[in-house]
Amino acid sequence: MRVEATAPRQRGLLASGIDKAFGSHQVLNGANLSVEAGEVVGLLGANGAGKTTFISIATGALAADGGRVHLDGIDVATDRRAAARRLGTAPQELGVYPMLTVRENVIGMARVHGLSSRRARASSEEAIEALGLTACAGTRAEHLSGGQRRRLHTAMALAHQPAVVFLDEPTVGADIESRHQIVRHVRSLADAGAAVVYTTHYVHELEHLGARLAVLAGGRIQDHGPVQDAIDAWGGTRVRVRLDSRVGDHGTVPIPAAWERSGEWLVSTCADLPPGRALAAGLQQLGDLAADVVEVDVQRPSLEQAYLRILQHGQRPAGAEGVHAAP
């Protein structure tokens, strides 16, 4: 008897051609996103871009107008219950039960996701410990600090060890210690094989997570590859030179092409030009006044700069391969 081979089920998330409109407002317009097992994708976008709408559709909480979402090879629209067992999600709004203890909250959510009593207890203890909640495991949630509640919210979403995880600004309002614990745990989840979609306004977290950057704008998601690739392609390097105050305070100093004045400083405005070349060109144009330069400052590219430029330009810079910042 001949046995037909079956293709292996694709692990992770695959969202294809997602459309969603609210009345005449088209929020998502053919949005695509693929996240493999073991990978973290930072999904960024301006407020109102549709990140929460996309996540709601991808998790089965909201119906799309078009397109398909598969979680671990399971179609969310046609087999939502099976997809939910592989899914962990922590929305922005805290969803803890104040009258229950930390341990009761986490175990209860693990049981809701189908874990046996024994597995739920073991997995919950792991999540509680990983997120630094062991000391308050027996404390009712109503008595926790804001940072502890945020960590509890995350533990409840992850205790059943989901294959695909959606974390919508998981560190908003959390203290520094809580942020670090959440980010470390998210990275460990990916290392263990989970596919993670992570939204945040604190873009530096994506560097710590070793994430891939995806930006939602105009209803579509553009993949910019690993964070470092996005920084290299979009971050730019800014070069500044400061003239001796006896010279720099005077408005008679000629401003080289592709530079601008900022107080005593002259600042290169050509972010795509290598810093050495930008500096050499500026000094050459200053002529004899180059002898009055007393300080040179080279500001290396950052993810924040890259993200802001992506939002401004909306497409890759020519030849590229490949928020606000935390307070």
Confidence bin at 93 (pLDDT 50/70/90): confident
Please report the pLDDT score of residue 104 as a whole number: 96
Please report the pLDDT score of residue 312 as a whole number: 77
Burial of 276 (0-12, 13-18, 19+ CB in 10 A): exposed
Q: What is the pLDDT of residues 65-91, one digit of tens each?
A: 999 999 999 999 999 888 888 899 988
Q: Which residue has the higher pLDDT, 263 or 22?
A: 22
Confidence bin at 4 (pLDDT 50/70/90): very low
Please report the pLDDT score of residue 102 as a whole number: 96
* CATH number assigned to the domain covering 13-86+162-231: 3.40.50.300
Sequence spans of domains, the chain: 13-86+162-231, 237-300
Q: Is the pLDDT of residue 2 over 80?
A: no
Q: CA 215 from chain center: how many Å?
A: 9
Q: What is the pLDDT of residues 225-283, one digit of tens each?
A: 999 888 877 876 778 878 776 655 555 667 787 777 877 788 777 766 677 777 777 77
Q: Across residues 118-146, what is the average pLDDT?
A: 93
Q: What is the pLDDT of residues 280-302, one digit of tens each?
A: 777 777 777 777 778 877 777 78
DSSP 119-146: HHHHHHHHHHHHTT-GGGTTSBGGGS-H
Q: Is the pLDDT of residue 174 over 90?
A: no
Run of H or E including 41: strand 40-44
Please give the Cα distance from 187 to 202 (Å, whole number): 16
